[in-house]
């Protein structure tokens, strides 16, 4: 595939989404040929779609971002091309990704672009010092987006940080009060999507960090409880479900963190969600996730639950299970 102008690459992207199997296969073949023969031209053309903004349909910009991520990670059967790209191509793409994250009018395009940025960061570095050398603009840009971007921009920046936690979580926590202040601010944000993204970032840090590294996060646990309570009262069921799911994953890995961090308020909040009744939430998965959260704590802290001073919690989890079984029947 020769170097494409905007109209040509958009035509190929449109064909990849067509129900016509032959048209889709032809488009995919052209992309694969370009990836193996002219990766710099392909990546440059896909970045051009992102740069076009409103001149292209949002679904085409989404598709461009999806394919870029596949080319970075090697997913969906695509060849990994990142290491084969010219430095100038890499830098131009990085600049465009940050611009799209900040300026694109489509939240879905922002999110897909954030996934590309996270994939590149995780590909080029395994520590914050390395990342600052390989892509020095990324972390400062994310910090700026979180501090003063639109709500959609704040959400995506927090989501990118969450994706960076496995490799860079310890480096983020090394920022001490600065990162804790950022988390406290975003957990109290006026937009529920921002609060949810911030809560999921905290819980990902708890899940992936060593216990000693995660200890400072105890200071924001009261805010996490407040976020859960606010979602329940404000009918933000999607955010509530996602936050509970993130909590279950973290509690399965590090239950002792929650035992030592605002446990009583957290436990009571989760129990209240489970016992709210099937008519409380339109999505039954909310209560299902709350029940899983309660069980994750009980199973992870079984030795603590069996102590005399925790008899009330033990009796409550037994009663919850009985009530749940009766409700299911």
**Per-residue pLDDT, 105:** 94
Query: Cα dist. 116→2, 7, 39, 79, 159 in Å?
Result: 24, 23, 16, 15, 12
- Percentage of the chain beyond pLDDT 70 is 98
- At residue 2, the pLDDT reads 42
Contact 227, 199 (CB under 8 A): yes
Please say whether the beta carbons of 318 and 326 come within 8 A.
no
Mean pLDDT for the stretch of residues 45-67: 96
Dist CA 180 CA 142 (whole Å):
15
User: Do 301 and 257 contact (CB within 8 A), yes or no?
Assistant: no
Tens of pLDDT, residue by residue over 38-52, are 999 999 999 999 999
Quick one: pLDDT band at residue 89, thresholds 50, 70, 90?
Answer: very high
Contact 72, 22 (CB under 8 A): no
Would you say 84 and 42 are in contact if contact means Cβ atoms under 8 Å apart? no
> Helix (H, G, I), strand (E, B), or coil: what is residue 154?
helix
Are the C-beta atoms of 206 and 199 separated by less than 8 Å? no
**Average pLDDT score, the chain:** 93
| Residue 317 or residue 289, greater confidence | 289
How many whole angstroms separate alpha carbon 61 and alpha carbon 63?
5
Contact by Cβ (8 Å): 281, 237 = yes
Reported pTM:
0.92
For 174, 180, 188, 249, the CA distances from 201, given in Å and listed in that order, are 16, 12, 14, 12
Structure tokens at 301: 């802290």
Question: Domains in the chain, ordered, with CATH?
Answer: 1-165 (1.25.10.10), 176-329 (1.25.10.10)
Close Cβ partners of 288 (under 8 Å, ≥ 6 residues apart): none
Q: Is the dihedral of CA 256, 262, 267, 269 positive or negative?
A: negative
Provide the pLDDT for residue 129. 95
Looking up tokens 């032809």 gives: 26
Query: Per the structure block, which two tokens stand in for 65?
Result: 């971002």
21-41 average pLDDT score: 91
Q: Are 186 and 146 in contact (CB under 8 A)?
A: yes
- Written as six digits, the tokens of 182 are 């950022």
pLDDT of 97 reads 98
Could you tell me which residue, 311 or 222, shows the higher pLDDT?
222
Confidence of residue 329 (pLDDT cuts 50, 70, 90): low
CA distance 67 to 71: 6
Q: How far apart are CA 265 and CA 138, in angstroms?
A: 37
User: What is d(CA 180, CA 46) in angstroms, rounded to the nearest whole number?
Assistant: 37
Tens of pLDDT, residue by residue over 191-237, are: 999 999 999 999 999 999 999 999 999 999 999 999 999 999 988 99
Average pLDDT of span 110-115: 98
């Amino acid at each position: 595939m020769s170097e494409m102008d905007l109209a040509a690459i958009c035509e190929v992207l449109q064909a990849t989404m067509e129900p016509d199997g032959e048209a889709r296969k032809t488009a995919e073949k052209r992309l694969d040929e370009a990836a193996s023969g002219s990766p710099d031209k392909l990546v440059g053309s896909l970045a051009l779609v992102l740069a076009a903004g409103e001149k292209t349909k949002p679904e085409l910009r989404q598709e461009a971002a999806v394919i870029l991520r596949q080319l970075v990670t090697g997913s969906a059967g695509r060849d990994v091309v990142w290491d084969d790209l010219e430095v100038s191509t890499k830098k131009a793409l990085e600049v465009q990704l940050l611009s799209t994250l900040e300026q694109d009018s489509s939240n879905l395009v922002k999110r897909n672009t954030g996934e590309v940025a996270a994939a590149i960061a995780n590909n080029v570095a395994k520590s914050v010092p390395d990342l600052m050398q390989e892509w020095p603009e990324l972390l400062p840009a994310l910090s700026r987006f979180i501090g003063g971007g639109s709500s959609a921009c704040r959400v995506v920046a927090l989501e990118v940080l969450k994706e960076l936690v496995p490799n860079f979580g310890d480096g983020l926590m090394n920022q001490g009060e600065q990162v804790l202040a950022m988390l406290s601010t975003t957990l109290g944000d006026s937009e529920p999507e921002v609060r949810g993204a911030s809560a999921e970032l905290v819980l990902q840090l708890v899940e992936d960090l060593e216990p000693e590294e995660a200890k400072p996060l105890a200071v924001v646990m009261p805010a996490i409880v407040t976020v859960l309570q606010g979602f329940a009262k404000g009918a933000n069921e999607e955010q509530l479900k996602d936050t509970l799911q993130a909590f279950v994953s973290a509690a399965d890995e590090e239950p002792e963190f929650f035992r030592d961090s605002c446990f009583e308020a957290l436990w009571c909040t989760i129990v209240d969600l489970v016992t709210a009744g099937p008519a409380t939430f339109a999505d039954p998965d909310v209560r299902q996730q709350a029940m899983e959260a309660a069980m994750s704590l009980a199973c992870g802290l079984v030795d603590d639950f069996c102590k005399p001073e925790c008899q009330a919690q033990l009796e409550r989890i037994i009663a919850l299970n009985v009530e749940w079984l009766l409700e299911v029947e």
